[in-house]
Amino acid sequence: MFIVESYTLAIVFCFITMLCWGSWANTQKLVQGEWRFELFYWDYVLGILLFSLIAAFTLGSYGENGRSFLTDLAQADAGNLRSAFIGGIIFNLANILLTASIASAGMAVAFPIGIGIALVLGVVINYILVDKGDPALLFIGVAFIVIAIVLNALAYSKASQTTSRASLKWIVISIIAGVLMSLFYPFIAVGMDLDNFAAPAPGKMTPYTAVVIFSVGIVISNLLFNTIMMKKPLEGTPLTYADYFRGRPGVHLVGLLGGTIWALGNLFNLIAAGKAGPAISYGLGQGATLVAALWGVVVWKEFAHASHRVMWLITGMFILFVLGLGLIIFSGAS
């Protein structure tokens, strides 16, 4: 089993997580003109599960360290398996709301608000779980990110071309998604032995096993959550399963790619948590907010016609995010 042995490598893995979690939504944007987000999302969750299984039978099963995937799965305590499964359900509800917000409000809005809130609350929750890192630096960094979220929400409200009620709707949905997103990570982490991935305590799981159970929770819960979203969409007309099967192979592959990108980041984040601690690992991974906002502003031109005042707010948001992430990194090295 592959294990991260140093804090430096753990930080590198967290940055890869940041890139993956901040970039997967580009796959949705690529097909948005012809493919509703509810249909995209079926392929997205399948991509998460497929990648998790491949990783478990390769990186999670070969090598001298740790238990192989099937051996680890067989000895895992039922409570730990259940916890990772519940984490998948919580994540899926949060992410499907976030994906709806991305489709309607854009990456430069939904991510900084939704994932920014998830970062703040998640760092606090995960620090309580395992108190690794300098708390002063960690929470000052979080404070900078809170201010960055506020600036982004102000920018969106001033730049939005929709009615104020519609603008508020997607801000509220992004906030709900963020609060839910902050809760899923401890459910996975508690089922793993964060102090010793090489020889986990009996009943505890390696990251590879935890990721698979988590992914199964996502796929099974999606049968309920996404069916409801199709029948009673937040925006647009209802959809049927027949609409999904009418999609061309290319759009299905794009959805699978999106899920694979997110799952790669998720796996690397959990592997890094053993050395960096869950608060720092999760917090840096959710720096995806910065990456997604850059995609939204620079590539997708989501604020192309905004006023100078709005662009100053966006610039301030980026600066504060960078400062906040830097302090989170140094909190673990101190």
Q: Are 78 and 69 in contact (CB under 8 A)?
A: no
> Measured between alpha carbons, how far is residue 178 from residues 112, 161, 268, 307 in Å?
9, 24, 21, 27
Task: Give the Cα separation of 153 and 108 in Å (integer).
Answer: 10
3-state secondary structure of 198: coil
CA distances from 221 to 2, 162, 218, 241 (A): 29, 32, 5, 16
In this prediction, residue 144 has a pLDDT band, given cuts at 50, 70 and 90, of very high
Percentage of the chain lying above the pLDDT 70 cut = 96
CA-to-CA distance for 91 and 216, rounded, in angstroms? 12
Quickly count: other Cβ atoms within 10 Å of residue 3's Cβ. 17
Torsion sign across C-alpha atoms 129, 134, 135, 137: negative
Q: Answer with the residue of higher pLDDT: 303 or 4.
A: 4
- DSSP type of residue 86: H
- Answer yes or no: is pLDDT of 234 > 60: yes
What span, in angstroms and rounded, lies between the C-alpha atoms of 147 and 305?
24
User: How buried is 28 (Cβ within 10 angstroms: 0-12 exposed, 13-18 middle, 19+ buried)?
Assistant: buried
57 pLDDT above the threshold of 70: yes
Residues 6+ positions from 107 with CB-CB distance below 8 Å: 25, 26, 29, 292, 293, 295, 296, 300, 302
d(CA 229, CA 73): 33
Average pLDDT over residues 231-240: 93
In degrees and rounded to multiples of 5, residue 192 shows phi and psi of -110, 160
Among 188, 221, 261, smallest CA distance to 97 is for 221
Residues 178-190 have a mean pLDDT of 93
Q: What CA–CA distance (Å, rounded) separates 313 from 13?
A: 30
112-138 tens-digit pLDDT: 788 888 888 988 898 888 887 899 998
* CA–CA separation, 109 and 103 (whole Å): 11
pLDDT at 93 over 50: yes
> Which phi and psi (to 5°) does residue 94 adopt?
-65, -45
Q: Is residue 33 predicted with pLDDT exceeding 90?
A: no
| DSSP per residue, 295-327 | IIIIIS-TTTT--HHHHHHHHHHHHHHHHHHHH
Say what the pLDDT of residue 166 is: 55
Domain ranges, ordered by start, for the chain: 7-333
To the nearest 10°, report the CA torsion of 171, 149, 290, 83. -70
